[in-house]
Amino acid sequence: MSCKTHSTTYKSFEEFPIYEGNDLGVSYSGQLSMFKLWSPEAEAVKLRLYEEGLGGEAIQEENMHQGEKGVWVSKLKGNQEKLYYTYQIKHKGQWLAESPDPYSIACGANGQRSMILDWKNAAPIDWDKDKAPPLKKPNDIILYEVHVRDFSIHQSSGIQHKGKFLGFTEQNTQTLNGIKTGIAHLKELGVTHVHLLPSFDFRSLDEELPYSEDRYNWGYDPHLYNVPEGTYSTNAKAGHVRVQEFRAMVQALHQAGIRVILDVVYNHTGATEESVFNQTTPGYYYRQNAEGGFSNASACGNEIASERPMVRQFIVNSVKHWVKNYHIDGFRFDLMGIHDIETMQAVRAALDEIDPNIFVYGEGWLAGDSPLAEDKRATKANVSQLNGVAAFSDEIRDGLKGHVFTQDARGFVSGLENQKMSVQYGIVGGINHPQIDFSKVNYTDKAWASSPSQCIVYTSCHDNHTLWDRLLNSIPKASEAERTQMQQLALGIVLTSQGVPFLHAGSEFCRTKDGVENSYKHPDSTNQIVWTRKEKYHSTFDFVKNMIALRKKHPAFRQATATAVAANLNFLETDNANLIAYQLNSEAAGDTWKQILVYHNGSNENISVDLPKGNWQVVVEAEQVNEAGIRTVKSKLDLPKIGTLILKK
């Protein structure tokens, strides 16, 4: 059958037609499959069907016909479930490489061919009954960031499905000495949301190869955005298996009372010229630089042009897809600053229609310059225009431990004296508090959060050194006991701050990556969570667990509005440059305690302070956390070095 050629040319991408339908990709029923691909400048498009995800010849080839608004269409009668398909377009007289569908919902190994999926046949038992655990407000969230493989791959995890989605479904796992691991650990710790590092289909790992500890990647090199990653599945070749297993993971976390955040990387693709987008709609999905080449604000070779209507539509429909078909409860946007404000507003609006409690946050910066105007970027500085979207506070991150890219830099918890105001800015949740002197705050000269829930408070994440390794680098002469105190102080500050606390997996038991700063493709031996460290640093785990429980019980630590924080949190004068002290009018914040005093001592010396009038009960001191009270004090208090001390009235 001959392939009829159509030729449509446009002067610019702005002239490309906008297709507003929600049926791009394949629409399947047992009697009919409808294929739709948006490719306005294509001169011809071929659809090929295969029995396998890799290898073999096409069993059917169809010439698609051009429909409305740049969409190419093919309709096949019969039941094509579990067949694989590709597209090939002719552009400017040349046939481009055969490509999977950018709108794929399933695929074969390595995402080379898309798969026709019946959702009903890719669901775990009782999937239709799955519901997210309740959430009252964003400030109740406690985030826990983890890589799927890291979570279970170490031999001490006691998990059978090591490195797989199904590792999250195994109940009551433990080390040989009976210490809880896996999902049992998450329940014991008390976090509310698990943030999964990229778990969509990415390029860097060959899904056909057998297990090897050297085959590792974080996954920030997107290939197919709407398909789960095959290396985390027990059968990467069968497209429906990865779908079912991802859903089973979400279901298990929900049953454990934990919501699920997906780390999404819409800002760039793993390949550039050879990407799925570029093989089906050349150039359109990417920003161009002044020379006409690919601009590169991601520092990964390209950046997505989110401001173009069909790109924005793809991103919005993609997050809706993950919510509808996988019950995802939130999204962390990688390099969110590359996206335009209008797109992030559209994402928020679309999710609000489904569930306003779906949490959205991202990195409020770029990795390089972009042709997108600064006032249109979804950066930290513009977060006030993004209601319901939060950003990471690098102010408190670097204030706590030191400049992130300077390996031996110290911060507040390791004795540096000029970081106090940056930490206090994080403590109030990035809002405009009358006692914050912005001339002394890192990286910002004004408040950028409209409410505390727009500020992600953290001290470490997958990027750069773990907190433990940074402390080893910056204070090599400190004893292990002193570094443990610093670790606890940093996490204690995060968990009592008014913003949304974020924990890097394993930081609750002093996780190390053996000093590796950028471990994105280092082997398991570097990245794995070594669960036996929970045994060694059990006092730190208990401290973090108890601080989480304290935060959950007392709303004074998680007030909902900037007005409430400004009114109810008062910093106290201190003579020591490395002592932060503040009083919470907790009764006014709806707490059962009338007043709360918080002291964070980052200095390496004991400090004596005068207390406000009255009798005070110490509830947090060093590693101890006791709601009932450890001891009663009045008038004066001796603060131990390097630690958090909290009192109630």
Residues 216 and 290 in one domain: yes
118 to each of 32, 127, 240, 328, how far by Cα in Å?
A: 12, 14, 8, 19
CA pair distance 442, 12, nearest whole angstrom: 41
Per the domain annotation, does 562 fall within a domain?
no
For residues 533 and 581, state if they share a domain: no
**Whether 521 and 582 share a structural domain:** no
Same domain as 574, residue 551: no
In this predicted structure, the answer to whether residue 3 has a pLDDT above a threshold of 60 is: no
User: Which residue segment(s) compose the domain that 320 sits in?
Assistant: 138-160+187-231+261-557
Count the Cβ atoms, other than its own, within 10 Å of residue 468.
25
Please tell me the total count of domains within the chain.
Answer: 3
pLDDT-based confidence at 406, cuts 50/70/90?
Answer: very high
Q: Which of 65, 95, 122 is the last residue of a domain?
A: 122
Q: Residue 210: what pLDDT?
A: 83
CATH code for the domain of 480:
3.20.20.80
Asked if the structure places residue 638 within a domain, the reply is yes
Same domain? For 588 and 473 the reply is no
Give the CATH number of the domain where residue 58 resides. 2.60.40.10
| Residue 301 domain flag | yes
Answer whether residue 54 shows pLDDT above 90: yes
HEC states along 240-307? HHHHHHHHHHHHHHHHCCCEEEEEECCCCCCCCCCCHHHHHCCCCCECECCCCCECCCCCCCCCECCC
| Stretch (H or E) spanning 480 | helix 480-496
Last residue of a domain, one of 557, 587, 602: 557
Residue 106 has pLDDT above 50, yes or no: yes
Give the Cβ contact number of residue 444 at 10 Å.
16
133 located within any domain? no
DSSP for residue 46? E
Same domain, 587 and 642: yes
pLDDT digits (tens, 9 = 90+) for 298-336: 999 999 999 999 999 999 999 999 999 999 999 999 999
pLDDT at 516 over 70: yes
Give the ranges where 497-598 is alpha helix by DSSP (H).
524-527, 532-536, 538-553, 562-568
In this predicted model, what pLDDT tens digit does every residue of 456-477 receive, in sequence order? 999 999 999 999 999 999 999 9
* Claim to verify: residue 155 and residue 104 sit in the same structural domain: no
Domain-located, residue 165: no
HEC readout, 289-346: CCCCCECCCCCCCCCECCCCHHHHHHHHHHHHHHHHHHCCCEEEECCHHHCEHHHHHH
Which tens digits make up the pLDDT trace of 576-619? 999 999 999 999 999 999 999 999 999 999 999 999 999 999 99
Contacts of residue 209, defined as CB under 8 A and 6 or more positions apart, other chains included, come to 215
Q: Which of 500, 531, 557 is the last residue of a domain?
A: 557
Q: What pTM did the predictor assign?
A: 0.97
Quick check: is 210 in a domain?
yes
598 & 508 share domain: no
Where residue 612 sits, what CATH number does that domain have? 2.60.40.1180
Q: Are 453 and 493 contained in the same domain?
A: yes
Name the residues annotated as catalytic. Answer: 334, 363
Note the pLDDT of residue 485.
98
DSSP 8-state code for residue 142: -
The answer to whether residue 592 is domain-embedded is yes
Query: What CA–CA distance (Å, rounded) separates 255 from 568?
Result: 36
Whole-number pLDDT of residue 300 = 97
649 pLDDT higher than 50: yes
Domain shared by 439 and 330, yes or no: yes
Q: Does residue 564 form part of some domain?
A: no
User: Largest Cα–Cα distance in the chain?
Assistant: 92
Segment 487-509, tens digit of pLDDT: 999 999 999 999 999 999 999 99
pLDDT at site 1: 42
Does 353 share its domain with 476? yes
* Gap between the Cα atoms of 307 and 340, Å rounded: 6
Q: How far is CA 29 from the centre of its chain?
A: 34
**Do 508 and 385 reside in the same domain of the chain?**
yes
What does the pLDDT read at residue 2? 47
Q: Summarize pLDDT for 66-104 with one digit per residue, the tens.
A: 999 999 999 999 999 999 999 999 999 999 999 999 999
d(CA 167, CA 39): 40
